Structure 1
């Protein structure tokens, strides 16, 4: 049971990590650009 759970957990973690990293990278860039513009607008306003 432990042997089967160990490899299964690993596969799910690896898949989740790879997908999370790619998805996180895209939103992070958008979020960084959004707050950056908002700050500029607030300063100008």
Structure 2
């Protein structure tokens, strides 16, 4: 994990937005957050962005 990604995740946590996809607003799955705690997009949006 990079420090800037961690800082962004902490900001989302403080703003009560942690765990929500930045693109669609839906919850990011627990498995994805366990694997990548700094994830900003849900699986569907991350796949579409590629």
- Give the TM-score of the pair, scaled to structure 1: 0.32
Larger helix fraction of residues: 1
If the length of structure 2 is used for normalisation, what is the TM-score? 0.29
